[in-house]
């Protein structure tokens, strides 16, 4: 059995201790996927008013603080001891720039475009530090950005086993806003990234399980109907399970957008925040996918314990009794 833990949304500015990571470590997963907002750049700060240098220093400090959380560090070291690449991360709006930031719009904004490179470079260094524990640069001056700057979306498709693939999507680099934007001109992943995802899925063996990591839930995707329809068409022909974050809660849904198999979605968000990020009850959410040859069992956890699991039969790709 393969065990894959996933969650999103950590706020080190309020949670210097994060017990959720110790609880995940106790379950001893084979993999961990962080579904965005590992830091919150726009809490207690206004990055849109910062110079690029101030922004880079701000982001650098937040990543160092999250990596230094004792429980988080212990889990990373536990995962590293298993060998190979075991921890993955995608970025959400709050570790990209700020709330609702869309890269395709920002790149044309003279005031903010220069923040895109430090944001990208620091996030990639954070991704590397999830595997090379202790590798995150201690000083901002130790970092040499690539020349010329990299601009392609940060997406990746990789096998976790013979019949399980993980697809890490980038829902920020090429994203557009939706306000007064015609539906056929909106982008969440962007057509090039969506085409790459479709190609990666189409070239795998029949029966492969595809885990699509997205910092945006299906509700966000549906504001981008062209791409939501395209994703539904892919799901109708392949076994897709979307792992989504960003809601400060755990949830499960099944979507049927085209004749064929459904797109199942499991959301886990709120690893170390409050239920309204800064306000309300503390939440400590994560989920675990237990993947076997016959089925996928999704287990949900919050700070009070474990909730009702879901089970998906892999042959018919439908929900079965848990």
Q: What is the pLDDT of residues 12-64, one digit of tens each?
A: 999 999 999 999 999 999 999 999 999 999 999 999 999 999 999 999 999 99
Q: What is the CATH number of domain 2-320?
A: 3.60.21.70
The Cβ-side half-sphere exposure at 100, using a 13 Å CA radius, reads 3
Q: What is the pLDDT of residues 153-170, one digit of tens each?
A: 999 999 999 999 999 999
Tokens describing residue 41: 């750049």
The pLDDT > 70 percentage for the chain reads 100
> Do residues 22 and 75 lie in contact, with contact meaning Cβ atoms separated by under 8 Å?
yes
Tokens describing residue 48: 């849109």
Q: Where are the domains of the chain?
A: 2-320
252 pairs with which residues across the strands? 266
* pLDDT score for 38: 98
- Can you give the C-alpha Rg of the chain in angstroms? 19
Q: How far apart are CA 72 and CA 55, in angstroms?
A: 24
b vs e for 23-34, b when ≥16 Cβ sit within 10 Å of the residue's Cβ?
bbbeeebbbbbb
In this prediction, residues 310-318 reach a mean pLDDT of 96
Tokens describing residue 25: 């470590």
What is the phi/psi pair of residue 109, to 5°? Answer: -100, 110
Q: How far apart are CA 210 and CA 55, in angstroms?
A: 36
* pLDDT score for 321: 72
pLDDT band (50, 70, 90) for residue 271: very high
The helix (H) or strand (E) run that includes residue 302 is: strand 295-302
- How confident is the prediction for the chain on average, in pLDDT? 96
In this prediction, residues 293-297 reach a mean pLDDT of 97
pLDDT band (50, 70, 90) for residue 177: very high
The helix (H) or strand (E) run that includes residue 56 is: helix 52-67
């Amino acid at each position: 059995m393969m065990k894959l833990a996933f969650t999103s949304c950590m706020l080190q500015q309020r949670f210097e201790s994060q017990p959720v990571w110790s609880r995940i470590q106790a379950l001893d997963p084979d993999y961990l996927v962080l579904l965005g907002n590992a830091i919150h750049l726009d809490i207690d700060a206004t990055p849109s008013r910062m110079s690029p240098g101030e922004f880079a220093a701000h982001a650098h400090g937040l990543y160092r603080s999250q990596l230094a959380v004792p429980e988080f560090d212990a889990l990373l070291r536990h995962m590293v001891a298993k060998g190979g690449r075991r921890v993955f991360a995608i970025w959400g709006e709050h570790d990209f720039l700020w709330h609702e930031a869309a890269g395709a719009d920002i790149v044309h904004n003279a005031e903010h475009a220069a923040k895109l490179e430090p944001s990208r470079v620091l996030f990639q260094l954070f991704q590397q530090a999830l595997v090379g524990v202790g590798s995150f640069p201690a000083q901002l001056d130790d970092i040499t950005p690539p020349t010329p700057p990299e601009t392609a979306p940060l997406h990746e498709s990789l096998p976790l086993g013979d019949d399980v693939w993980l697809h890490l999507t980038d829902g920020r680099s090429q994203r557009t806003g939706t306000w007064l934007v015609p539906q056929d001109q909106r982008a969440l992943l962007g057509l090039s990234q969506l085409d790459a995802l479709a190609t990666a899925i189409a070239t795998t063996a029949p029966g492969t399980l595809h885990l699509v990591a997205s910092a945006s839930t299906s509700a966000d995707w549906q504001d981008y109907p062209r791409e939501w329809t395209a994703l539904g068409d892919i799901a109708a022909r392949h076994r897709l399970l979307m792992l989504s974050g960003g809601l400060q809660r755990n949830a499960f849904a099944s979507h049927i957008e085209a004749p064929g198999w459904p797109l199942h979605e499991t959301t886990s968000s709120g690893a170390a925040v409050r239920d309204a990020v800064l306000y309300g009850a503390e939440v400590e959410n994560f989920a675990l996918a237990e993947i076997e040859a016959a089925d996928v069992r999704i287990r949900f956890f919050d700070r009070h314990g474990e909730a009702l699991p879901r089970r998906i039969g892999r042959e018919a790709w439908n929900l079965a009794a848990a």
